[in-house]
Structure 1
Amino acid sequence: MRFRVDRDVLADAVTWTARSLPTRPPVPVLAGVRLEADTTGTVQLSSFDYEVSARSQIPADVSEAGSVLVSGRLLAEISRSLPDKPVDVVLEGTKVVVTCGASRFTLLTMPVEDYPNLPVMPPTTGTVDGDELTHAVAQVSVAASRDDTLPLLTGVRVEIEGEKVTLLATDRYRLALRELTWKPSSPDISTVALVRARTLSDAAKSLGSAGSVTVALSTGSGVDMIGFEAAGRQTTSLLVDGDYPAVRRLFPDETPIHAIVNTHSLADAAKRVSLVAERNTPIRLSFSEGQVVLDAGQGDDAQASEALEATLVGDDISVAFNPQFLLDGLGALSTTFVRLSFTHPNKPVEFTGQETLDGEDNPEYRYLLVPIRFAS
């Protein structure tokens, strides 16, 4: 195998392909990235850990075709550190020599014949705008659990009904829902998938800038899998198995009280006030006509408070939140104002966004946060 490739092209492709390699692979070959050079002028890089696969195809000047398996993380670090010159990659016996300008690296190869076959991309289910997918996944994934002992809650539930896609995630303390439209391959498609939040976030971030992202889904036919493809890059992931809890019913049907606050101002104030909040202690928001007062700390501890303008519809109300969960919800909103809708001081509070103070809120994105009970 022998090929020459642009340094930036190689570095981007190797870094992307190696991004999901396991830290402690069950077998050594799974720490590798496979390079396959074809005399048609392409090099395909691939990685696989039996759950997530990644493929990236790049143009190259290939003089000898071949296939080789080398340490993915090491090749990524080397390729990023190379000078801005063409890179020559040559297989010499059981070693791969990478040369760039005056830099020369020799890497040991792994037995490519022991590398598992990568899964086949499922049939195309539809396409979605890359930027919208990236934004939607970021809004929802903040609410997914990081606790691997609850694998169901580490996933994002993807509900597809025709042209509408709904993303849902919860960690039991908050719930996020985002609706978006896409172009389905079949107008009457109706299916559900549970995708690992980390995998979905990674795919959306890395492929979203490509413009249009192709989504491929396979359920109920042996191996349940989702795939994403854009700009010569392709990734697949096994779906999470199990029945996701019926979380939609947690959103209240009616909210007799709601408050409207500038999103950016509320987030900034919450950051300042939370500086005195000890670990796992809440900050309190007290709403009355014309204002909301944020405060944290009590007794002999450090204390902070700040008042902001707010519009309140309904009775005065006070709630307390985990500061980080509050900031996650506010950070997910891209609107000028946030509407907080209440049913009771101890019941979950719904966050939605709106562009104007006296306008309607947009239910496209909804963030439900469970308050923390506090002593009166």
Structure 2
Amino acid sequence: MRFRADRDAFADAITWTARALPVRPAVPVLAGMRLDITDAAAGTLGLSAFDYEVSTRASVDVQVEEPGSVLVSGRLLSEIVRNLPPYPVEMRTDGSRALLTCGSARFTLLTLPIEDYPTLPSMPDVTGSLPGDVFASAVRQVAPSASRDDTLPMLTGVNLTFSGGTVFLAATDRYRIAVREAWWQPRSPDVDTSALVPARTLFDTARSLTSGGNVDIALSAVDGSGARATRGEGMIGFEYAGRRTTTRLIDSDFITYDSRFPTEFAATAEVPVAPLVEAVKRVALVADRSTPLRLSFGQGEVVLEAGSGDDAQAAEALDVKFEGEPMRIAFSPQYFLDGLGGVESETAFLNFTAPTKPAVITGAPAEEGGRPNYRYLVMPLRVA
């Protein structure tokens, strides 16, 4: 194998593909990144990484002098290309070594046995697509609510429910539930299925998307009519701008969450998002992970407080629009900030039933009287 490539394009593709490299590979070859040139005339270098759960594939245009394949340490290659000088990159294989040259910089990498590298899973058939920026925004809104506790796999995923022309993304860690509704274009108008996707993989995929273009979503657990065909061996794939990611689905049923959202509220506050977020961050400076953020809502204002007794204390008042009986309620500062961080409008609505019952944060609906596309239910903390 021998080729020349633009440094920036090459580095970008390598860095993106390296996301699937395992930190502690089960077998040594999984630490490798595979580079393939199968057709010299096509002038395309294929890159791939796989850890038996997640696979990533990308391609980059190169000037091919000799086709071939090679497997090298992915993390080392990624570190090297991120620090190369601003010159074209040349790479070639020489026996059991790969030689990389960029300007006056030269690197020699040992190759791994490519014959031992596992075959990457095929991309499932495309089920539908939606704008990349919408998908990235939706994942960013709900993924923080997924649990990090791997002993409960169901809670570590983001549930994608596809129903006709609508997709719902939801995540929970038992103390909060985030839900985002978005429009999408299914290949079959009768599609009605769901997929529980590992939140970390979904978040890494979404944050690599740039504005413009659609992301294709492909489900192997969907048959030709759009209905769920199998469980257990389900896989989901995402393709965007020539880059592909696949991951196994979590084999578990997600909670039924719609019934957990209250439909009637005793009080509602309309608050400016940016000033409230800044006020919460200031007041929370005196709070640790177990210290609640207390909010007292009254006519025209909310008072934020943290700390008490002999501890450090902070308080700040903020003008809000409030309807209902005065409400005093407490939350984990980070959980409250995560909910506000998912609101894309300039104002947010905080809806309350009682100080000891879940509150619901939403953004302003797109249309007057319409349903907000983002909902965040959060359990309050009990305070004396």
Say whether 1:102 aligns with 2:115. Answer: no
359-368 or 211-220: bigger deviation: 359-368
- Give the number of aligned pairs: 374
Amino acid at match of 2:236: I
1:237 to 232, 237, 247: 247
2:202 to 200, 222, 228: 200
Partner of 2:383: 374
CA distance in 2, matches of 1:263, 1:86: 46
CA distance in 1, matches of 2:205, 2:288: 35
Say whether 1:333 aligns with 2:343. Answer: yes
Q: CA, structure 1 residues 320+361, in 2 after alignment: closer, same or farther (shift >3 Å)?
A: farther
Q: What secondary structure does 1:271 align onto?
A: helix
Partner of 1:35: 35
Partner of 1:44: 46
Partner of 1:11: 11
Q: What secondary structure does 1:169 align onto?
A: strand
Partner of 1:85: 87
Say whether 1:268 aligns with 2:290. Answer: no
Residue 263 (structure 1) shift? 1.0
Tell me if the contact between 1:4 and 1:61 (Cα under 8 Å) persists in the aligned partners. Answer: yes
Tell me if the contact between 2:292 and 2:381 (Cα under 8 Å) persists in the aligned partners. Answer: yes
CA distance in 2, matches of 1:332, 1:44: 36
Tell me if the contact between 2:168 and 2:179 (Cα under 8 Å) persists in the aligned partners. Answer: yes
State TM-score, norm by structure 1. Answer: 0.97
241-250 or 179-188: bigger deviation: 241-250
Deviations 1:246-300 (A, max 9, x none): 2221101211211111111111111111111133110100011111111111111
Q: Identity, % of aligned pairs?
A: 55
Q: What secondary structure does 2:377 align onto?
A: strand
Deviations 1:294-331 (A, max 9, x none): 11111111111111111211111110000011111111
Partner of 2:139: 137
Residue 208 (structure 1) shift? 4.3
CA distance in 2, matches of 1:337, 1:191: 33
CA distance in 2, matches of 1:256, 1:186: 42
Q: What secondary structure does 1:142 align onto?
A: helix
Runs of 4+ in 1 over 6 A off after TM superposition: none
Q: What secondary structure does 1:19 align onto?
A: helix
- Runs (5+) with no aligned partner, structure 2: 222-228
Tell me if the contact between 2:4 and 2:62 (Cα under 8 Å) persists in the aligned partners. Answer: yes
Q: CA, structure 1 residues 226+214, in 2 after alignment: closer, same or farther (shift >3 Å)?
A: same
Tell me if the contact between 1:352 and 1:362 (Cα under 8 Å) persists in the aligned partners. Answer: no
Amino acid at match of 2:333: P
Residue 20 (structure 1) shift? 2.2
Pairing 1:1-376 to 2, within 5 Å after superposition: 1-38=1-38, 39=40, 40-209=42-211, 211-219=213-221, 220-221=229-230, 223-354=233-364, 360=369, 362-375=371-384
Residue 360 (structure 1) shift? 4.9
CA distance in 1, matches of 2:203, 2:210: 10
Residue 211 (structure 1) shift? 1.5
Tell me if the contact between 2:364 and 2:372 (Cα under 8 Å) persists in the aligned partners. Answer: no
Residue 228 (structure 1) shift? 0.6
State TM-score, norm by structure 2. Answer: 0.95
Amino acid at match of 2:356: N
Deviations 1:178-233 (A, max 9, x none): 00001110111111100011111111111343521111111134730000111111
CA distance in 2, matches of 1:354, 1:166: 18
Amino acid at match of 1:32: G
200-209 or 147-156: bigger deviation: 200-209
Tell me if the contact between 1:283 and 1:323 (Cα under 8 Å) persists in the aligned partners. Answer: yes
Amino acid at match of 1:320: A
Residue 361 (structure 1) shift? 7.0
Q: What secondary structure does 1:328 align onto?
A: helix
330-339 or 219-228: bigger deviation: 219-228
Q: What secondary structure does 2:20 align onto?
A: coil
Tell me if the contact between 1:136 and 1:178 (Cα under 8 Å) persists in the aligned partners. Answer: yes
Tell me if the contact between 2:141 and 2:342 (Cα under 8 Å) persists in the aligned partners. Answer: yes
Q: CA, structure 1 residues 23+37, in 2 after alignment: closer, same or farther (shift >3 Å)?
A: same
Q: What secondary structure does 1:330 align onto?
A: helix
Superposition CA RMSD, Å: 1.5
Q: What secondary structure does 2:159 align onto?
A: strand
CA distance in 2, matches of 1:238, 1:218: 10
